[in-house]
């Protein structure tokens, strides 16, 4: 079985993975913008990823002990050094640097530390562009009959990610919307290799409209790569309104505040007040259109959206709930990613349809998935328990890894149909992209009255 990329949510460790990936690609003679496949097979990356997961601690799903035991001493040393640098612990940095100088480590580890130092020096506050008028960031309209593809947590650059986009291309979408996360930490060269180059290879000169939200991994390197991505796509900002005569798709930036330049505090993210004002305006002045929300982070979850002041795991993000309370009842569907799974939820916490589609490309072992509520999960206020999934919608698997997934929206006048497709994680025939199979789930939302403005 080929090795697959292993990701962590800690910004320091994800950035270090990016730096090691760059060093391994360069040393192998690969172009600087090579995809993850250029380094994921290297033993050093396997050791580094295992060490990163070990040091990420309780924020990560635990791996079997045998995987952690494979982390080499040098990988562990460099992971600790990355964390010390990130937290500004100068005394610990000096001690670890002394150990590294005298350890019998492959020179690539030292080179990766140098690359990491360079990345920290270039680190800056995340890119974020605010509207100056409530009419800003409203994009040119889609046709009344339009096909929109949604995918999330897709930016690995691995063969499976490319194959999934090739399968999406067979639907000839008018727009493709990515709900965030380019791995390992959204550096400019990862943005080019794992996103822009892949779209160019598959769509050629006939690009659909492509838009990208900000995920947590897109912010871990400081957001410069995400700025490069928006420029490459011609996208005005990290939040937007894409609409036609009957529907509007509102992209939100929940990734901005899942970035902490010195520590990973929590994933209980929120929206800027100015962005909330812009969003509420779009819903209240929708001109009869139905509203679809798009974000990277979940509104609610089986696996916890973060913790309250007492350290308890929360099913619902209270910050997003407070901000969106005035308009939540007008939202037809809310799609999000972040969790590498597919969850078609029953109505919960005032939202009619919550949909997690984060199974875009990151390989996930069966034992890693949250398909049941985590112990001690605090339900949303007014709810008797945790969120529940629509029966019969669980993602398939090949006995080892869960399948990947994406959604295809068909906008046909006042009707919106969402179909959810899955694709095997490991292709049976290399280079062969299977045709889309039957949809795992299909649903149609019809506006109560024609939404012509």
Residue 352 located in a structural domain: yes
The boundaries of the domain holding residue 79 are: 11-122
pLDDT computed for residue 265 by the predictor: 46
116 and 149: one domain? no
pLDDT computed for residue 400 by the predictor: 82
Residue 130 located in a structural domain: no
Residue 49 located in a structural domain: yes
164 and 95: one domain? no
Query: What does the block give as tokens for 90?
Result: 């100068």
303 and 160: one domain? yes
pLDDT computed for residue 389 by the predictor: 97
pLDDT band at 309 (very low <50, low <70, confident <90, very high): confident
Residue 102 located in a structural domain: yes
Query: What number of CA atoms fall less than 13 Å from residue 2's CA on the CB side?
Result: 17
Q: What is the CATH number of the domain that holds 327?
A: 3.60.21.10
Residue 184 located in a structural domain: yes
316 and 381: one domain? yes
205 and 333: one domain? yes
pLDDT tens-digit map of 31-53: 444 555 556 556 666 666 666 66
- The residues with which 389 forms a beta bridge, in sequence order, are 345
Of 242, 238, 252, 265, which is closest to residue 11 (Cα–Cα)? 265
165 and 110: one domain? no
107 and 210: one domain? no
261 and 393: one domain? yes
118 and 155: one domain? no
pLDDT tens-digit map of 145-155: 999 999 999 99
| Contact indicator for 139, 132 with CB cutoff of 8 Å | no
pLDDT tens-digit map of 48-80: 666 666 666 543 433 333 333 334 566 667 777
88 and 174: one domain? no
395 and 278: one domain? yes
Range 92-117 average pLDDT: 61
pLDDT computed for residue 378 by the predictor: 97
Which of the two residues, 232 and 424, has the higher pLDDT score? 232
Sheet holding 342-344, edge to edge: 240-243, 247-251, 290-294, 331-336, 354-357, 342-344
Regarding beta strands 441-446 and 415-423, do their DSSP bridges make them parallel or antiparallel, or are they unpaired? antiparallel
* CA gap 431, 427 in Å, rounded: 8
pLDDT band at 302 (very low <50, low <70, confident <90, very high): very high
29 and 88: one domain? yes
Query: What does the block give as tokens for 338?
Result: 């972040």
Give the total number of structural domains in the chain: 2
| Contact indicator for 17, 49 with CB cutoff of 8 Å | yes
Residue 128 located in a structural domain: no
pLDDT band at 91 (very low <50, low <70, confident <90, very high): confident
Mean pLDDT of the chain: 83
Locus of tokens 């690969």: 30
Query: What does the block give as tokens for 11?
Result: 């910004």
pLDDT at 17 over 80: no
| Contact indicator for 386, 377 with CB cutoff of 8 Å | yes
């Amino acid at each position: 079985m080929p090795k697959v990329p292993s990701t962590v949510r800690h910004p320091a460790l994800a950035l270090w993975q990016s730096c090691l990936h760059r060093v391994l690609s360069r040393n192998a003679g690969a172009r600087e913008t090579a995809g993850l496949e250029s380094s994921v097979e290297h033993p050093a990356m396997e050791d580094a990823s295992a060490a990163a997961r070990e040091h990420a601690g309780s924020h990560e799903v635990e791996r079997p002990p045998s995987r952690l035991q494979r982390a080499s001493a040098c990988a562990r040393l460099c992971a600790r050094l990355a964390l010390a640098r990130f937290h500004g612990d100068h005394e610990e940095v000096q001690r670890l640097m002394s150990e590294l100088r005298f350890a019998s480590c492959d020179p690539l580890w030292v080179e990766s530390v140098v690359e990491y130092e360079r990345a920290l020096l270039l680190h800056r506050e995340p890119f974020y562009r605010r509207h100056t008028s409530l009419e800003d960031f409203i994009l040119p309209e889609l046709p009344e009959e339009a096909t929109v593809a949604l995918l999330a947590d897709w930016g690995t650059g691995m063969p499976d990610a490319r194959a999934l986009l090739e399968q999406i291309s067979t639907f000839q979408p008018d727009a493709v919307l990515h709900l965030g996360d380019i791995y390992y930490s959204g550096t400019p060269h990862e943005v080019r290799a794992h996103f822009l180059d892949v779209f160019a290879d598959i769509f050629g000169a006939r690009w659909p409209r492509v838009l990208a939200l900000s995920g947590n991994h897109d912010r871990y390197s400081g957001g410069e790569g995400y700025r490069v991505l928006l420029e490459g796509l011609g996208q005005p900002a990290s939040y937007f309104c894409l609409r036609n005569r009957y529907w509007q798709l509102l992209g939100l930036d929940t990734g901005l505040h899942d970035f902490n330049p010195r520590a990973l505090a929590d994933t209980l993210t929120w929206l800027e007040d100015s962005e909330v004002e812009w969003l509420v305006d779009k819903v209240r002045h929708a001109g009869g259109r139905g509203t679809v929300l798009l974000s990277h982070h979940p509104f609610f979850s089986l696996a916890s959206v973060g913790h309250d002041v007492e350290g308890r795991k929360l099913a619902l993000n209270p910050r997003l709930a407070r901000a969106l309370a005035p308009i939540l009842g007008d939202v037809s569907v809310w799609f999000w990613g972040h969790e590498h799974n597919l969850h078609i939820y029953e109505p919960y916490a005032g939202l009619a349809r919550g949909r997690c589609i984060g199974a875009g490309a990151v390989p996930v072992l069966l034992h890693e998935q949250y398909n049941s509520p985590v112990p001690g999960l605090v339900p949303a206020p007014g709810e008797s328990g945790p969120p529940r999934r629509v029966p019969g919608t669980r993602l398939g698997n090949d006995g080892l890894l869960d399948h990947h997934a994406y959604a295809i929206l068909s906008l046909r006048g006042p009707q919106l149909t969402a179909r959810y497709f899955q694709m095997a994680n490991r292709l049976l025939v290399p280079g062969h992209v299977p045709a889309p199979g039957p949809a795992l789930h299909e649903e149609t939302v019809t506006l109560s009255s024609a939404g012509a403005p």
